[in-house]
Amino acid sequence: GCKSSEVKAFPPCDNSLAKSDEITRNLEPKEKQLCLKVAKEHDVPKDLKKMVENKVVEVIPYLQDVNLSVVKMSFLKDNSCGEDIVSKSLSSHSDLITGIYEGGLKIWECTFDLLAYLADEEVQFAGKRVLDLGCGAGLLGIIALKGKAKETHFQDYNSTVIDEVTIPNVIINSTFEFEDEISEPDLKKRRNSNPTQQHLTKCRFFSGEWYEFSKFVLNSKKAFAKYDIILTSETIYNPSYYNAFHQTLANLLDESGQVFLASKAHYFGVGGGIHLFQKFIEEKNVFETRTLKIIDEGLKRILIKITFKHTH
C-alpha cells in the first residue's frame, strides 16, 4: 500500500505504479491500489545563498564550450560513489525511504546525449515555455533557462530531489552571471556572492506523479499556458507508467509544441524501451514520433521528437 504521507491511494485497485513488478505480483488483485504521489509546487526559499552554501559543487563540461555546475549530493556527507549516495539518502530522507524512488538523484547518461543534440542543432529556447519532465538534476531545464526561455518548469517524482538537487542546481547555474568558463576560484566566488531571484522568477518546481502533476498545473491558480518544448530523459523505462506519461504530454503540450525525448533502446529488468514506447504512441494515435539520433556505442541510446498528429 501507500506509506508516505504524500501518497494517496485511489480505487480502483491497480498497483501499476508500485516500484517493482515483484511488489505487484505479491499483491492479491483486491489489495492492489493505484498509488499516486500527490503533486505539489515547491517554493524557492528567499535565502538563496543558504540553499547552496553547504553544497559541494562540481563543474561538468559536457561539451567543449558549455559548462554546467552540479550540486553533488552534499546532503549525503562523506560519500563519493554513486550507488552509495542513493542508498545513504534512502535512509535519511523520509520522502525516499517510505515512498518510491524514481532515479532523480543521479544524472543519467541520455541527459548528455540530449544536451549535446540541443547544442549541436542550436535548438532555440528564447521566449518559449519549457518543461523538464522527470528532471532529476534538471540540467535540460537549466539549458533552456540559459537559452532565455520565457518560463522553465521542472518536475520530479520525489520532493526531496526537487529540494535538495534540482533547486540548488538551478540556483547555482542561473542566479549568477552566465559564463562559459568557470574556474575553481570562480566557483568559490559564486558560492560566496549573494544571488538574486532574477532568473528564478522564470522557474516553477513541482514534485509528484505524472497524472497528479498535470492535474495540478492545469488547476493551479497561477496562470498556465501549455509548453512549447518538453525535454525528457530516461523516463520511459517502466511500461506501467506509459499511460500517465502519454496523458501528461497530451495534456500539457501546446498544439504546435514538441517533445525531445532521450532514452536507452531497452531497459533490462524493468522492460521498457524505445520500441515498446513507440508502439504505445502509435496505438494511442495522438502523437507522431521522429528519430533524431541513434547513439550506437555500448548500450544503444536514441533521441526522438514527439509532436501532435495533425489531421488536416
Nearer to ligand SAM, 105 or 171 (CB): 105
Residue the block writes with cell 542550436: 122
The torsion angles phi and psi of 103, rounded to 5 degrees, stand at 95, 10
The sign of the CA dihedral 216, 218, 219, 223 is positive
95 sits near ligand SAM (criterion: CB under 6 A)? no
157 sits near ligand SAM (criterion: CB under 6 A)? yes
Applying CB under 6 A, which of residues 195, 234, 295, 304 lies at the interface with ligand SAM? 234
129-133 vs 151-156, strand pairing mode? parallel
Cell of 92: 535519511
235 sits near ligand SAM (criterion: CB under 6 A)? yes
136 sits near ligand SAM (criterion: CB under 6 A)? yes
Neighbours of 149 (CB within 10 A): 24
111 sits near ligand SAM (criterion: CB under 6 A)? yes
Applying CB under 6 A, which of residues 241, 260, 277, 287 lies at the interface with ligand SAM? 241
Angle at 80 between CA 117 and CA 108, to 5 degrees: 25
Taking contact as CB under 6 A, which single stretch among the options 21-29, 132-140, 193-201, 272-280 is the one that binds ligand SAM? 132-140
258 sits near ligand SAM (criterion: CB under 6 A)? no
287 sits near ligand SAM (criterion: CB under 6 A)? no
Q: What is the dihedral of CA 269, 138, 309, 300, to 10 degrees?
A: -40
Shortest reach from residue 47's CB to ligand SAM, in Å: 26
Single-letter code of the amino acid located at 185: P
216 sits near ligand SAM (criterion: CB under 6 A)? no
Cis check for the bond before 195: say yes or no (omega within 30 of 0).
no
Nearest residue to ligand SAM, by Cβ distance, number only: 134
Contact 175, 195 (CB under 8 A): yes
- Within 6-157, residue ranges assigned H as helices are 21-26, 48-53, 82-92, 94-97, 109-120, 139-146
Radius of gyration of the chain, Cα coordinates, nearest whole angstrom = 19
15 sits near ligand SAM (criterion: CB under 6 A)? no
Shortest reach from residue 205's CB to ligand SAM, in Å: 12
From the list 109, 85, 45, the residue with the least C-alpha distance to 298 is: 109
What is the C-alpha end-to-end distance of the chain, expressed in Å? 46
Applying CB under 6 A, which of residues 71, 73, 96, 135 lies at the interface with ligand SAM? 135
Taking contact as CB under 6 A, which single stretch among the options 78-86, 98-106, 180-188, 193-201 is the one that binds ligand SAM? 98-106
Taking contact as CB under 6 A, which single stretch among the options 79-87, 150-158, 172-180, 190-198 is the one that binds ligand SAM? 150-158
CA 266 – CA 237 distance, rounded (Å): 8
Shortest reach from residue 136's CB to ligand SAM, in Å: 3
Taking contact as CB under 6 A, which single stretch among the options 64-72, 108-116, 176-184, 267-275 is the one that binds ligand SAM? 108-116
**What are 120's strand-pairing partners?**
none
Q: Which residues bind ligand SAM (CB under 6 A)?
A: 17, 102-104, 107-108, 110-111, 134-137, 156-158, 209-210, 233-235, 241, 244
